[in-house]
Amino acid sequence: MGTLVMKFGGTSVGSVDAINQTADIILDSAKEWRRLVVVSAMNGVTDALIDSAQTAVSSDDELAFRAIIAGLHAKHHDTIGALLPEGKDREQLFSTVQGLMDELGALCHSIHILGEITPRAMDTITSMGERMSARTLAAVLRHKGTKSQSIDATQLIVTDDKYQNAAPLMEKTLARIQERLVSALDAGVIPIVTGFIGATEEGVTTTLGRGGTDYSAAILGSCLDADEVWNWKEVDGVLTTDPRIVPDAQVIPELSYSEMGELSYFGAKVLHPKTVLPLIQHNIPLRVKNTFNPTYPGTRIVREAADEARGKIKAVTAIKGMSMVIVEGRGMIGVPGIAARTFSTVAGQGANVLMIIQASSEQSICFLIPTQTVSAVVKALEEEMERELARRDIDRISSRDNVVIVTAVGAGLRDTPGISAKVFGALGQADINVVAIAQGSSECGLSLVVAAADAVDAVRQIHSQVIVNGG
């Protein structure tokens, strides 16, 4: 029997009906698969947990964060009450939720007094949503007559201590999973693992970044050498673009790992950007399916997508909140090491560089980073290049905010003539100015920078002119 990891996102466990539906999907797959389930917090819960902590920092009295905690408590209590009949399981869940909400109250109280929140405390707080949803789903499955047990991923996924964006230590994680999961699976118990969270070797709770449950499922799938990972959401699959921008975006039947990686890295909110990484090594197919339309095949993500789609643009995505930094000056020509110093300074500020453009004459280096890091980066660069600026080897270090990276994705773009012409033609028709371009570093992405005010139109133009009309 093959092993299947199933991940259910926040909407799939977001209400009484959704949790029942999720439980039925799990039960329906009993004949074919040995199953491991990974769950997100109920929809909106992680946001509310963050809000409780931030309110504890900012508000004058305790009532404000206490009200948020009361809301979270009631939401879980009511959901559990509606899902389970009176009895031991229900009482135990009520008291677990009560215990977690008391702990949250105590943490928020300390934060309120201290007036600040550390990333480490934030991870302890945001882990609570998944702790509640995993226990709830396991109890519902038991109630429906199946052996199921919730497990906190703090016992399974070992990470570094980069709180709020921790990275898994794969070898240690593998050992834990073999020790703690395999026997349960073999005994026919369905483990319900908390998504999003892990712990350091010392046992301190960490999180893998927002939307991290997708990544948790891939890490677990890779360590179990699963046959497939299925990601259940509230959309029919990965769509040709964000449905909030283009409501009639269509489902893409098949994508390669690289295409999916490119799409999620450049802003498609459908999957955590690191999701495909653990799957590549073991060549584990990933499916994106709709909890509320379960018979629909969804999107399959595999090593190599079907050949006939090569050289076509399959999807377009945009990443907002970017700034462009330009280091320029004629004196830079031939001065060795300017690029290396520039990027090590940027790295020193912890800024993530999403796109780099350098003119061939070496007169300028231009790159894109998230706007929240730009002022620190420009300041650090001015300090690092103080001498070059004084000598006028570098004329200026400037930045431009309010830009967006738009990325068109499809395998084989690099060696298919005419694709860029179609993309730029579509933008030209709508009078959209392209500020910068990068293609070629990745085999399947063409990225361009436009003003934030043009971003929605740029995505719509590329979607309608290049994807729908056959790129």
Asked if 195 is part of the footprint of Mg ion (rule: CB under 5 A), the reply reads: no
CA 274 – CA 265 distance, rounded (Å): 8
Asked if 51 is part of the footprint of ligand ASP (rule: CB under 6 A), the reply reads: no
Out of 8, 33, 196, 367, point to the residue binding ligand ASP (CB under 6 A).
196
Where along the sequence are the contacts to ligand ADP (CB under 6 A)?
9-11, 40, 211, 233-235, 238-239, 241-244, 268-270, 315
Q: Which does 242 bind (CB under 5 to 8 A by kind): Mg ion, ligand ADP, ligand ASP, none?
A: ligand ADP
Out of 14, 168, 191, 195, point to the residue binding ligand ASP (CB under 6 A).
195
Please give the DSSP secondary-structure letter assigned to residue 244: T
132 vs 268, beta carbon nearer ligand ADP: 268
CA 414 – CA 420 distance, rounded (Å): 10
CA 1 – CA 248 distance, rounded (Å): 38
Q: Which of residues 199-238 bind ligand ASP (CB under 6 A)?
A: 210-213
How near is the Cβ of 138 to ligand ASP at its closest, in Å? 17
* C-alpha distance from residue 172 to each of 64, 201, 219 (Å): 41, 9, 12
Q: Which does 154 bind (CB under 5 to 8 A by kind): ligand ASP, Mg ion, ligand ADP, none?
A: none
Pick the piece of the chain touching Mg ion (CB under 5 A) from 67-75, 76-84, 203-211, 363-371. Answer: 203-211
Q: Which does 269 bind (CB under 5 to 8 A by kind): ligand ADP, ligand ASP, Mg ion, none?
A: ligand ADP
Q: Which does 129 bind (CB under 5 to 8 A by kind): ligand ASP, Mg ion, ligand ADP, none?
A: ligand ASP
128 vs 406, beta carbon nearer ligand ASP: 128
Query: Mind spelling out the 3-state secondary structure of 245-311?
Result: CCCCCCECCEEEHHHHHHHHHCCCCCCCCCCCHHHHHHCCCEEEEECCCCCCCCEEEECCCCHHHCC
How many other CB atoms are found less than 10 A from the CB of residue 415? 10
How many C-alpha atoms does 468 have within 13 Å on its Cβ side? Answer: 13
The closest residue (CB) to ligand ASP is 213
Asked if 211 is part of the footprint of Mg ion (rule: CB under 5 A), the reply reads: yes
| DSSP conformation letters of 21-89 | HHHHHHHHTTTTEEEEEEEPPSTTHHHHHHHHHHHHHH-SSTHHHHHHHHHHHHHHHHHHHHHS-SSHH
Asked if 14 is part of the footprint of ligand ASP (rule: CB under 6 A), the reply reads: no
Asked if 22 is part of the footprint of ligand ASP (rule: CB under 6 A), the reply reads: no
For residue 73, which of 93, 58, 59 has the smallest C-alpha distance?
93
How near is the Cβ of 210 to Mg ion at its closest, in Å? 8
Q: What is the Rg, in whole angstroms, of the alpha carbon atoms belonging to the chain?
A: 24
Count the residues of the shown chain that bind Mg ion, applying the rule CB under 5 A.
2
Asked if 14 is part of the footprint of Mg ion (rule: CB under 5 A), the reply reads: no
| DSSP conformation letters of 351-367 | PPP-EEEE-TTSSEEEE
Residues 6+ apart with CB under 8 A from 36: 3, 4, 5, 6, 181, 185, 190, 191, 193, 220, 224, 226
How near is the Cβ of 198 to ligand ADP at its closest, in Å? 17
Pick the piece of the chain touching Mg ion (CB under 5 A) from 170-178, 211-219, 292-300, 371-379. Answer: 211-219
How near is the Cβ of 166 to ligand ADP at its closest, in Å? 18
Q: Which of residues 311-330 bind ligand ASP (CB under 6 A)?
A: none
What's CA 105's distance to the chain center, in Å?
28
CA 26 – CA 35 distance, rounded (Å): 8
154 vs 342, beta carbon nearer ligand ASP: 154
How near is the Cβ of 47 to ligand ASP at its closest, in Å? 7
How many C-alpha atoms does 244 have within 13 Å on its Cβ side? Answer: 5
CA 245 – CA 248 distance, rounded (Å): 9
Asked if 41 is part of the footprint of ligand ASP (rule: CB under 6 A), the reply reads: yes
Asked if 40 is part of the footprint of ligand ASP (rule: CB under 6 A), the reply reads: yes
Name the pairing type of β-strands 228-233 and 2-8.
parallel
207 vs 317, beta carbon nearer ligand ASP: 207
Asked if 129 is part of the footprint of ligand ASP (rule: CB under 6 A), the reply reads: yes
The closest residue (CB) to ligand ADP is 9
What is the binding site for Mg ion (CB under 5 A)?
Answer: 9, 211
What is the binding site for ligand ASP (CB under 6 A)?
Answer: 9-10, 40-41, 46, 129, 195-196, 210-213
